[in-house]
Structure 1
């Protein structure tokens, strides 16, 4: 399995970071794909295959760490692309919520 689990929603509280600019203060780090829980069950295949999918967004995936779990909030297409390229890790901005 690529991810730890496939979820359908965000089980953590609202954090107020919406835009790429909001997330820009969160430093990126490496995360293992097998440690991530997705917050989306469906994916637009065009996003996975697009070469410029990050042109208007953040270069890094957005992950929320909450209750000892890592939730992939944004960047599912980046994570799947990494998996298809047989890379076990992904650069992500990880917001830690307590």
Structure 2
């Protein structure tokens, strides 16, 4: 299995991070098998497009919430890494506090 689990939607509350706020987070390596996807479908043209990151962030966006790592943006990058037999992905990780557990 490539991912820990394939999800459908974001189970965490909205974080309202802007592109600038995501860019301020330093990228780090995340294991693919620790990620839970927030999308269960992918457009093949996005996966195969060499310029797919031209207008976006070079790194995937991951949200850590309640001990889980959710792949919010960058599913095509993660699948491309898996197809290249890499087990890690460089991603920006937002540590989201659980307001209900305080």
TM-score bracket for the superposition, by shorter chain length: over 0.9
Q: Which runs of 5+ in 1 are unaligned?
A: none
Question: Based on CA coordinates, which of the two structures has the bigger radius of gyration?
Answer: 2
Tell me what 1:29 maps to.
28
2:56 equivalent to 1:50 = no
User: Size of the alignment, in residue pairs?
Assistant: 97
Tell me what 2:81 maps to.
82
Quote the Cα distance in structure 1 between the aligned partners of 2:88 and 2:76: 14
Tell me what 2:12 maps to.
12
What SS does the aligned partner of 1:46 have? Answer: helix
Task: Tell me the alpha carbon deviations over residues 14-53 of structure 1, each in whole angstroms, 9 at most, x when there is no partner.
Answer: 111143x331111110000000000000100011100000
Quote the Cα distance in structure 2 between the aligned partners of 1:82 and 1:7: 19
Deviation at 1:59, TM superposition (A): 0.2
Quote the Cα distance in structure 2 between the aligned partners of 1:17 and 1:81: 25
More helix per residue: 2
Quote the Cα distance in structure 1 between the aligned partners of 2:64 and 2:49: 28
What SS does the aligned partner of 1:79 have? Answer: helix
Deviation at 1:92, TM superposition (A): 0.1
Q: Which runs of 5+ in 2 are unaligned?
A: 98-102
* TM-score of the superposed pair, with normalisation by structure 1: 0.96
Query: Superposed, which structure 2 residues align to 1:59-98 within 5 Å?
Result: 59-98=58-97
